[in-house]
Structure 1
Amino acid sequence: MRIIKSSLLFFLLSCILVLSACTSNEKASKNDETNQQSETKVEKISTDELQKNIDKEDWILVDTRANDAFNGWPMDGVERGGHIEGAVDFSAAWLKADQEKLDEKLLQILKNKEITKDKHVVLYDANGKDTVEVAGFLKENGFKNIYQYDVKEWAANSDLAMESYPNYEMLVPVSWVKDVIEKDNEGKPFKIFEASWGEEAKDYKKGHIPGAVHINTDEVEEGPVWNRLKDKDLEQFALKNGITTDTTVILYGSDSMPAFRVAVILKYMGVKDVRVVNGGYTAWSGAKYDVETKVNSKQAVDSFGAVVPVNPDYIIDLPEAKEILADKNKTSTLVDIRSWDEFIGKTSGYDYIDAKGRPAGAIWGHAGSDNSNLEDFRNVDNTMRNGLEITEMWKQDGIDVDNKLAFYCGTGWRAAEVLFYADVIGLKNVTLYDGGWNEWSMDSSNPTETGKPN
């Protein structure tokens, strides 16, 4: 009996000690959180003060919200979508991006956007959290004059200018996709597709957006040139996947590039409402939304609803590319969306393309480090880069954005993504040269260049 009582007493004492430790840890955690918020607390600025200082050279306005809000989506209770005119973007989401040498890249981004320590930096958001996170990063790196602003105040006054990309709705936030699923797109037909190369769809089987069906890019293009399929075959692809001209098509992938490739082909075919998820599957999983692993079957339809292609100028072929290069009036430009080493002929970029160089007269429009990357057009979380920065980059390269711009790469994937971005930001006369360097280089009579352009 004494042994039982002693054991019971020991058990009770142990429980008390454990509970005390847990309570202490919780208090310590809360204290740490409070201290952190105190350390990163910044002075709030009023709308009047912001208006007085917004045009000064030593002041800079920074949008710290999600990239989608900057582009034009009304989020977090903000009455108007888009960003305050003149603001640059530095999203709090970038601080959590899965990137090597992230801090080094973020500091370079600050420099590129001219967010410097000698300026008064006004950070704005709509939730009170994003600004605190970005302010913490800035303070860690020596910034002192930091202010906080609530963009809801600005958006509530219709006399104050805000900017959105003309076609921002083409690039969608994952929260919008979630609403479409939950509300069944308010009765309108919709389809969600994960696009990637290959029948096995390994990433798709690991986890995908609920209801999503896999599209293998071989369903829309074929070798050896890897151009889109013939129009009648594209129509059969649409019928097999249950796509009509009136279907809202939502595309994404673990890597977004195949999704943009399919999206551009669907727009060429005549689908009226084509969307791509900004940030791809990473954005969905990062939001901790539900995923599923079951393989969803394709549901066919009987009619596409139009004769393919409805928008034939959205994709061009070799003859049209030659016409652009022969344009003596210089009202159209063939824009190379490949790495610099591919452009100057140091490498072809592909193990199945032997020729190196570029079509004579093409202008480099940037891309990324190799044939699988587009760092020049993406933020560190793989969302679309600031549209003004894209067009300024092109202007510096001698590209007139008012010209007809035909984008090409090796086989069409990178250029398709950039074409989609150009469409989002409102460039009027843009197209994809589908065959790209792969097709151009197959005929030795097509003029080519290597080395740095004159």
Structure 2
Amino acid sequence: MRKVLLLLLLCSLIVLGACSNDKVASGKDTKEESAGIQTIKTEDVQSNIGKDEWVIVDTRSNDAFNGWALDGVKRGGHIKGAMDFSADWLKVDADKKTQTNVLKAKGISAEKNVVLYDANGKDAKTVAEFLKENGYKNIYQYDVKEWAANQELALESYPNYQMLVPPTWVNDLISNKNSGNPYKLFEVSWGDEAEDYKAGHIPGAVHLNTDEVEEGPVWNRLKDKELEKFALKNGITTDTTVVLYGSDSMPAYRAAVILKYMGVKDVRVLNGGYTAWKNAGYQAETKENAKESVSAFGAEVPVNPDYIIDLPEAKKILADKDDSILVDIRSWDEYIGKISGYDYIEPKGRPAGSIWGHAGSDSSNLEDFRNIDTTMRNGSEIMAMWEKDGINPDKSLSFYCGTGWRAAEVLFYADVLGMENISLYDGGWNEWSMDSSNPIETGEPK
């Protein structure tokens, strides 16, 4: 009888072991389980990347996804093939439908096995709770620090991810924890009376009015000599690290592109703007900080003349269709000529031969290039969107909008992604439409 019992026990152990091995092979390692969230091993994450029934999701901040090594990871960037759905997006004051639409657009469906990874033990759980509320059942949690510690496992970062900085980096900068060149921190908006700046800004920030770098009626950048005077007045040299942000980030990107054109070597923009700073829990101040001047810029402006182009160059791009594309960064209704998009621009349409590169719902928004917390959208999604519209990144691309603001932001993103032969057509539709001899198209392109 004892032998029979031992035999039965041995068979049971073999069966259990086989079941356990099958579970691990499928990625379902349940050595820990908390509130219905199963943990998964590194080898199982690796083996399930790219499978139709699995989706790997980075739940960390957009900055970590882009390339910054945050929360103690040894290497920055995201797991190759991973999608992004940041826990920060659940803090945004948006309706539930907006957030679920993001899941749908990224292919993160309830029918799949969803692996959520983070580095702080919090982000993945936050997203997991949201998924469970929406009917997701097969949810797994993973600590990406294990992946980052293994040099043989690939992590992807954008080539120039440092151009977009997280709030932690800015905080370290103003706390004198970042060594390097002297820096200047600017909150950028239009107008001398900056209400947002007065209400509260990052400690040490100086207000920068966009009128200091551009002028009407075309709203092109100032002449080169005037731009040099602007730099001297604001204490900017070619070697100054310049950090820009705003309640609305668009003016900051406009100034950033002009500074790069001028020759400032290290230009950064706070990813997500002032909202990102506040959401990170950092302090603000209300006192007005004065500008501090310098006596020399350090180079003749412009150092990078091809970064911003004008009307003659835009015409050459349109004439050279084999190697160049003029990319329209306006809403679809502006592109097809249904509206002009501006109360001070009467003509409607587009430069003949330009290609629509997406933008947003109107002239003040860029939803097609931003996440719902206004950080930069996933680069692979941007590239896929452009590929669908026939925009080849191997060609020379010049971006334009109405007066240069939206296109400047997209140009900066393209730079972050490491694209080359890119520029801003400064005059945009405003300048092009002023001359009736410039060819114009309306309606949907054939």
Q: TM-score, normalised by structure 2?
A: 0.92
Q: 1:172-225 CA distances to partner (integer Å, 9 max, x unpaired)? A: 001000001111642520000000000001100000000000000000000000
**Partner amino acid, structure 1, of 2:356:** W
Ranges in structure 1 where 5+ consecutive residues have no aligned partner: 1-37
What does the per-residue CA deviation read over 1:243-302, in whole Å, with 9 as the maximum and x for residues that have no partner? 000000000000000000000000000000000000000011111211110000000000
Q: Where does residue 89 of structure 1 map in the other structure? A: 84
1:209 matched to which residue of 2?
Answer: 202
Contact residue 374 and residue 414 of structure 1 kept, 8 A: yes
Alignment of 1:149-298 (within 5 A): 149-183=142-176, 185-186=178-179, 188-298=181-291
Q: How does 1:48-447 map to 2 (within 5 A)?
A: 48-99=43-94, 101=95, 103-183=96-176, 185-186=178-179, 188-328=181-321, 330-447=322-439
Between the aligned residues of both structures, percent identity stands at 73
Q: Secondary structure at the match of 1:186?
A: coil
Q: 2:443 aligns with which of 447, 451, 454?
A: 451
Question: Deviation string for 1:339-380 (max 9, x for gaps)?
Answer: 000000000000000000000000000000000000000000
Do the aligned partners of 1:40 and 1:132 also contact (CA within 8 Å) in 2? Answer: no
Distance in 1 of aligned mates of 2:157 and 2:180: 27
Q: Aligned equivalents of 2:82 and 2:155: distance in 1? A: 9
Q: SS of the counterpart of 1:195?
A: strand
Instruction: Report how many residues are paired.
Output: 414
Aligned in 2, Cα 1:187/1:78: closer, same or farther, shift over 3 Å?
closer
- Once residues 56 and 286 of structure 1 are traced to their aligned partners in structure 2, the CA distance between those partners, rounded to angstroms, is 35
Shift of 1:40: 4.2
Shift of 1:60: 0.6
How far did 1:54 drift? Answer: 1.8
Cα distance in structure 1, aligned partners of 2:309 and 2:51: 46
Cα distance in 1 between the residues matched to 2:51 and 2:252: 42
How much has 1:57 moved relative to structure 2? 1.2
Q: Secondary structure at the match of 1:246?
A: coil
Distance 1:41 1:296 in 2: 51
Residue of structure 2 in register with 1:25 after alignment: none
1:98·1:381 contact (CA, 8 Å) conserved in 2? no
- Whichever residue aligns with residue 133 of structure 1, its letter is T
Question: Kindly tell me: are residues 160 and 184 of structure 1, through their superposed partners in 2, closer, same or farther at Cα, counting changes over 3 Å?
Answer: closer
Per-residue CA distance 1:142-164 (angstroms, 9 max, x = gap): 11111000000000000001100
Shift of the alpha carbon at 1:231?
Answer: 0.1
Which letter maps to 2:318? L
Amino acid at match of 2:439: P
Q: CA RMSD in A?
A: 1.0
8 Å contact from structure 1 (residues 191, 250) kept in 2 = yes
Residue deviations 1:69-97 (CA, integer Å, cap 9, x gap):
00000000000000000000000000011
Deviation at residue 39 of structure 1 after TM alignment:
7.5
Q: Encode CA deviations 1:374-415: one digit per residue, 9 max, x unaligned.
A: 000000000000000001000001111111110000000000
Distance in 1 separating the partners of 2:342 and 2:255: 21
CA distance in 2, matches of 1:144, 1:74: 30
Judged with a 3 Å threshold, the aligned counterparts in structure 2 of structure 1 residues 407 and 452 are, in CA distance, closer, same or farther, namely same
4+ runs deviating over 6 angstroms: none
Distance 1:187 1:74 in 2: 19
